[in-house]
Amino acid sequence: MKRIQTIEWQKNKIKIIDQTKLPQKLLYIYIKDIKTLWQAIKQMKIRGAPALGIAGALGIYLGIKDIEAKNFKEFKERLDKVARYLFACRPTARNLFYGIERMYNVAVGNKDKSVLKIKELILEEAKKMIEEEKDSCYKIASYGARLIKDKDRVLTICNAGILATLDYGTALGIIYKARQEGKRLRVFACETRPLLQGSRLTAWELKQKGIDVTVICDNMAATLMQQGKIDKVITGADRIAANGDVANKIGTYNLAILAKFHRIPFYVAAPITTFDRRIKSGKDIPIEERDKKEVITLLGKIRIAPCNVKVFNPAFDVTPNNLITAIITDKGIIPPKNIRDTLSAKAKGAPRWGHPSD
C-alpha cells in the first residue's frame, strides 16, 4: 500500500490530500497561496486537529515567504496580517493556533536577524513541527495500545487517523499499533453526520490498512452497546481545557454518556499540542458553527430537508472530564482529574506561547 501523506511541504507549495474527494479518489493538490489554503481548511479538504496545526505552520511560511520587507517592523506588519487571517479560519482545534503561534514566535524571537534568515527559520521550524507531530502519534499509539486487549471491539467517531494527522493518527494510531502487536480487533466507525468523516475517511483509511471495520449510522451506537458489542470507545480531540474537558466532533459527548451508562471505558487520544492551558473549562472552548447546507443536503448534492428550515450545525461538542476514563497523550496516560497537575509539572521551564492578538 502506498504511504498516505496528509500534508507536506513540496515544490515550494503545501501538498495535501483533498479529503472532500475521499473515498471516491485519492487526490493530492498543491496550494500556493494563503487564500487557497484558507478555503481548503474551511471546506475541510484538510482537517483534523494535528493536520490543521501543520497547515497553520506551513500557512505562515506560505504567507510570508515572498514578502519584500526592508526591516523587521515591515516584515512583522505583514506577518501579523497573515497570522490573523489564518486564525480566523476555524476556531475550535487548538493545534491550528499552536502552529501559527509557534511560527510567529520564531519570527519575534529572531527579530535581530535578517528577514531572509527569519523566513528560513520559520520553514525549518515548520518542518521540525511535522517531525514532532509524527513522533507524538507513535508515542500515543504505544501508550494507548497497552489498554487494548485481544479481540477488543472499539467504537470511534469522526476521523482521528492518518488523514487527521501527519502519520499513524491518534485514536486510530492506537488501533494500528495494537494490531502490529498481534491483537485481533474490530472497529466500529460512526458515520459522523453531517460531513461523514467516519464513513468516508475512517472506513477508507482502516480498509487501506487491512483493519476489520464496520460503519454504523450515529444513532446505532446505543444499540451496539446495549447488545454488549463494544468494549471501548476511543476518540480524538480538537481542544482540551485545563480541567480535562474535551471538545471533539459533534456526537462525541453522546458517545461518552452512552459509554458511562453501559460501563464501557471512554478514552480520548490527543497530543499535548491539543491542550489549551489558557482555557479553564470546556464551556470556554469556542465551538465552530457551520453552514446549514451541510445539514439539509447530503455533502452539498442531494437535498434532504426543506431549504427554508431552521438548522443548528455545531461542528463540535464538549465532553465533561467526569465522563472520560483517561486521556492518552504523547506524554503518557492521564486520568482527567490529574490533568492540571500533570500538565503544570510538565510545563515548568517551557516557554509561554505568544499570541499575535495578545
Binding site for ligand MRU (CB under 6 A): 44, 47-50, 93, 158, 160, 164-165, 170, 197, 236-238, 248-249, 315
Distance of alpha carbon 303 from its chain centroid, rounded?
29
Q: Residue 289 carries which DSSP code?
A: B
Task: Evaluate whether 207 touches 280 at the Cβ level (below 8 Å).
Answer: no
Q: Rank residues 328 and 339 by Cβ distance to ligand MRU and give the closer one.
A: 328
Q: Rank residues 115 and 158 by Cβ distance to ligand MRU and give the closer one.
A: 158
Task: Evaluate whether 125 touches 204 at the Cβ level (below 8 Å).
Answer: no
Q: How far is the CB of 91 from ligand MRU (least distance, A)?
A: 11
Q: How far is the CB of 66 from ligand MRU (least distance, A)?
A: 29
- CA torsion, points 346, 350, 355, 358, in degrees to nearest 10? 90
Known catalytic residue at 238: yes
Gyration radius of the chain's alpha carbons: 20
**For residues 170 and 299, what is the distance between their CA atoms, to the nearest angstrom?**
26
Which of 152, 167, 238, 330 is labelled catalytic?
A: 238
Q: How far is the CB of 84 from ligand MRU (least distance, A)?
A: 21
Residue type, 14: I
> Residue 174 corresponds to which cell in the numbers above?
492506537
Helix (H) / strand (E) element for 347: namely: helix 339-347
Q: How far is the CB of 93 from ligand MRU (least distance, A)?
A: 6
Q: Rank residues 44 and 58 by Cβ distance to ligand MRU and give the closer one.
A: 44
Q: How far is the CB of 249 from ligand MRU (least distance, A)?
A: 3
Task: Evaluate whether 93 touches 49 at the Cβ level (below 8 Å).
Answer: yes
Q: Rank residues 136 and 321 by Cβ distance to ligand MRU and give the closer one.
A: 136
Q: Of 276, 260, 280, which Cα lies nearest the Cα of 323?
A: 260
CB-based closest residue to ligand MRU: 236
Q: Rank residues 165 and 321 by Cβ distance to ligand MRU and give the closer one.
A: 165
Q: Rank residues 202 and 321 by Cβ distance to ligand MRU and give the closer one.
A: 202
Q: How far is the CB of 177 from ligand MRU (least distance, A)?
A: 15
Residue with cell 449510522: 217
The strand order across the sheet containing 239-241 reads: 275-276, 239-241, 246-249, 316-319
What are φ and ψ of residue 320, in 5° steps?
A: -65, 150
**For residues 313 and 316, what is the distance between their CA atoms, to the nearest angstrom?**
9
Active site residues per annotation = 238
